[in-house]
Chain A
Amino acid sequence: MSDMESRGPGGSEDFGDLEGSEVLEGPEVFEGPGGPGAPHRVIGTPPPTPSLLGGSGGSAGHGGPGSGLVPAQGSPLEGGGHGEERMPSEADYPAHARNAERLVVFFFLLAFFAGCGFIAAYIGIGVYSVDKVFRSNLALGLSLSITLFSLGMGALIWVRHLMPDVEMVEERHDLRSTDAERAAFDDYFKEGTAASQFVRRPMVRRTLMLATLPLAVAPIVLLRDTGPLPGTSLRHTVWSPGRRLLVYGTNQPISPAEFSAGGSMITIVPDGYQDDPDALAKAAVIIIKFRPGEMQIPTRYAGGTLIGTPNWTVDNIVAYSKICTHVGCPVALYEQTTHHILCPCHQSTFDATTGATVIFGPAPRPLPQLPLAVDSSGYLVAASDFTQPVGPSFWERG
């Protein structure tokens, strides 16, 4: 604003060609506490010593004291304007300020009592059951929220309605150093470099670099023992010939007679490893019972290795790895009407009747099939381990 008085019709010259048209006067600005133009404009007297960066007079070159207490070039406050020397110490509107003060006091008192309530709720309300935790959380949280909210409201009303409205202008100093400063820097840097003989003695320089190389590499080397080498462990699971299938949870073996209802599905873990998460992360299996005629599992090979065949099923029961070949989530949604196995993580879908072939989604390979057999007691057992690595792909998979 070039002046704080109400402005004339600032745009009339724009409309000079409009014969006979009328133009309203430009908007009037209502009176504010700092004169017409709302806030108090505060300017400060320039301090006697210049630079913010230290007294050794480097700032004269780029003019203006560091902390911008002088009105900027071309700013409305230049030449004194209508700014004031200091921030006013009285509120702008005394009657309003009295009301605002009451409001602020109310909020701060509310915060105090709510804060006391918080401590009282902590002491008084116990936990140790879901119901009690519900009450405790509600009481503590409510009192805390009220305390914080009231503090915020009080502080905000204070700043907006009690403190006089002030606007300040600060000058930005140049960020770029002056040429003289840069020259001085260059000068000293060269001087110091020459004194250090760094340039003059190349062998010193080069061997220094060499000396620090091992130390730089060492932190990476020291990470080696964070884990074992993968070796071939990703290629095998704990399934082995004769290992019984146990129902996860009850840890009971299961026989084809018990698993006879068409459309059944259940989660299986290997006997002896039911509490071993590392083993289960690769060895979890689902078995599915088909109705007669539904199963059409093909015999298939991968690079010469047999990876699926109807011979690996028992009595229309097929076993697939439960570990998705995408990134390893348990594949567990089985729709018995469509025979789809759906992984809930990224929606890879496998067709259980055709050897868990992928019919949608990002999984790249069918679920590996576990060869099934029956042991002498009639329980389902694995005939061997999986013949291909289970789970997500990896570089060395083949």
Chain B
Amino acid sequence: MSTDVNIPKALSGTGSWLDDRFHGARGLRVFMRKVFPDHWSFMLGEIALWSFVILLLTGTFLALFFVPSAAPVVYHGSYVKLDGISMSEAYQSTLNISFDVRAGLLMRQIHHWAADLFMAALMLHMLRVFFTGAYRKPREVNWLIGIVLFSLGLVEGLFGYSLPDDQLSGAGLRIFEGVLQGIPIVGTYLAFFLFGGPFPGSDIIPRMYVMHVLLIPGLILALITAHLFIMVHQKHTQMPAKGNTEKNVVGQPFFPYFMAKGGAWFFFIFAAIAMLATFAQINPIWIYGPYTPVAISSASQPDFYMWILEGALREMPAWEYNFLGHTLSLSVLIPFALPLGVILGGAAVWPFFERWATGDKSYHNVNDRPRNAPIRTATGVAAIVFYGVLWAEGANDVIADKLQIPLYTVTWIARVLTFVGPAVAFVATRRICLGLQRKDKELLEHGLETGIIRQMPDGEFIEVHRPVSEESRAVLEAKKVPALLPAPGSEDENGVPSPASRGAMGWARGVANRAFAETIVAGNGHGNGHGPNGHGADGHEVAAVGAGEGAGLSGHGEGHAIESGASGSSGSSGSSEGSGGAAAMAPGDEDES
């Protein structure tokens, strides 16, 4: 059946006119046929993208009514409870938007909920990219762009909710100024230049406005464009599946499929935000009242994406040092620099660290399943726990109040958990990953239990297994076994030690490499090790990792060969090109039991 669609004259006429000038037909056709892979977790970044679009639209509406001025006025508007109070024009204009402009409150709430959703989606998107290893070559630059976008989003949100100049956000600005002021040497100058004098001054609101409305959205827009362009140019990654290789993309074409799905997704995102804006009140500035530096409310928190800083400020002990007429306030500086520095800096450095540790310089267009990269996954979970503990501490007074835990106890628990939590999470996650790998190995080798019991002629009962489907097999086998670098101090056939393995860095690299290379590989599965009764006797499950002696069986009883080293999994359709260096003789040590 051929297509029986006739392109309407208007469309084809316009198209020709444009093509005459822009040479578009070929490129547009290529783009329309572009294949986008389908996985729900690939849509998280789009939540951020469409939320940003919604922010631009509602922000434009709000900018038509908002007055970015700290000049004091006396209120005589519709919210009669505050009639006669002196407040800034910014606050008054926000009250006007809320109570005197139709749809004003709805637009304000959509704007704020969209901002929250933007940051939440960015967090989950970053985590998805991290846990699937999609930041690896060739996508490192995109990963870095993403981190910058996240940081810009933090600042943009901070300025955005501080613009109405209400009590809650004014307290946040006060904290911001206090932290700035405490920076050594340049702190007081930075604070005075930013605020145009002592706090609060009258310059900060117009300046934040310019940054919030013009500078930062411009930067974000430019970076999002670059981010998307790189993604389109390099093509999106895809999940391991049957038929998905490093050299192809399997999915649906942009026109009409992905376009329609993307459009539907935009509407659903907007609908979710609109539903929140209808039914859930956010930032009721009329309850908080106009800002005065004399007053404060309990349960004063910034928006959730700032809680890592807030929690760090709350749990830090009072460490301050005075010397030679100068004061160094670590109780302010460490919370300011350390948690975000660790998280964002660590994230930025991670692709390069992983590359250094694994020696893996190949392209990766197929994602990893998180269980197949235990160290990466464990590090990610440890980072989440670190972030999460500080997050929770940011809300410590609400936790203390609502859960009836004494206030100082919450802080002490957080202080301990900040260090203990990530360590425990790392160890536990790594174990869980390795356990899941074992389960995969089981599935591959033994198939699925069907629950059907048969009696053998000799009287024995066995359970019948059936092999996993081809699709599942492709997924289960899509694991690249990382290569081991030459061990520290190892020498080649001429007795020359490898340069990369020399010295302290070489030793460190070796340690990291062995940790990263740890994996549980399913044996060849060609009938080795199963007893004659069709079901392995006890103790058939052995996982000796790192005991690589090339491609042999390490033979523990009916052991299955567990190898690390050269890619030993046969038939894996997802193997990448070049799994790194040769399978060297690694002095196998780490025994897993």
Using CB atoms and an 8 Å cutoff, list the residues of chain A in contact with chain B. Answer: 1-2, 7, 9-27, 29, 42, 44, 52, 66-69, 72-76, 86-90, 122, 125-130, 133, 136-138, 140-142, 144-145, 148-149, 151-153, 155-156, 158-159, 163, 166-172, 175, 223-224, 226-230, 233-234, 248, 267, 269, 275, 277-278, 280-282, 284, 322-323, 326-330, 332-333, 344-348, 358, 360-365, 391-398
What are the residues of chain A within 8 A of B497 when measuring CB–CB?
none
1/0 per residue, CB under 8 A from A, across B543-572: the answer is 000000000000000000000000000000
Name the B residues within 8 Å of A140 (CB-CB): 102-103, 106, 278
- Nearest B residue to A365, CB-CB: B320
- Which residues of B are at the interface with A, using a C-beta cutoff of 8 A? 1-5, 27, 30, 33-35, 72, 78-79, 86, 98-106, 109, 138, 171, 174-175, 177-179, 181-185, 187-189, 191-201, 203, 234-235, 242-243, 245-253, 256-257, 260-261, 263-268, 270-271, 274-275, 277-279, 291-300, 310, 313-320, 322, 325-329, 331-332, 363, 365, 396-397, 407-408, 411, 445, 447, 450, 452, 454, 456-457, 462, 464-471, 473, 525-527, 530, 532, 534, 573
**Which partner residue on chain A sits nearest B79 by CB separation?**
A130
Q: Say whether A168 contacts B251, CB under 8 Å.
A: yes
- Please determine whether A166 and B253 come into contact, CB atoms closer than 8 angstroms: yes
Main SS of the interface on chain B? mixed
Cβ-defined contact, B193 with A227, below 8 A:
yes
Q: Which residues of A contact B243 (CB under 8 A)?
A: 1, 75-76, 169
Residues of B within 8 A of A169 (CB): 35, 243, 248-250
- Verify B332–A327 contact, CB threshold 8 A: yes
Residues in A neighbouring B274, C-beta threshold 8 A = 141, 144-145, 148
CB-based contact B467/A10 at 8 Å: yes
Contact of B102 with A22 in the complex, beta carbons under 8 Å: no
CB–CB B313/A362 < 8 A: yes
Known: A9-B467, A17-B527, A280-B294. A159 touches B534 (CB 8 A): no
- Complex interface: chain A residues within 8 A of B396 (CB): 347
Residues in A whose Cβ lies below 8 Å from that of B188: 230, 234, 394-396
Most interface-central of A234, A345, A361 (chain B CB within 10 A): A345
Contacts of B247 in A (CB 8 A): 72-73, 171-172
Inter-chain contact A281/B293, CB cutoff 8 Å:
yes
Taking the nearest CB of chain A, how far is it from the CB of B460, in angstroms?
9
Most buried by A among B179, B243, B275, B532: B243
| Residue pair A360, B408 in contact (C-beta under 8 Å) | yes
B460 to chain A: closest residue by CB = A20
Q: A89: nearest residue on chain B (CB-CB)?
A: B3
Q: Are A228 and B192 in contact (CB under 8 A)?
A: yes
A-B contact pairs, 10 of them (CB 8 A): A10-B473, A11-B467, A13-B526, A89-B2, A159-B264, A170-B250, A230-B191, A248-B294, A281-B200, A284-B293
**Residue on A with the closest CB to B336?**
A327
Q: How far is the CA of A131 from the CA of B238 in the complex (A)?
A: 51
Q: How far is the CB of B229 from chain A (nearest CB, A)?
A: 14
Given the complex, which residues of A lie within 8 Å of B331, measured CB to CB? 326, 362-364
* Given A22-B464, A75-B245, A175-B363, A127-B100 contact (CB < 8 Å): yes
Q: Which residues of B contact A126 (CB under 8 A)?
A: 102
Please state if A167 and B196 are interface contacts (CB–CB under 8 Å): no
| A136 near B103: Cβ-Cβ < 8 Å | yes
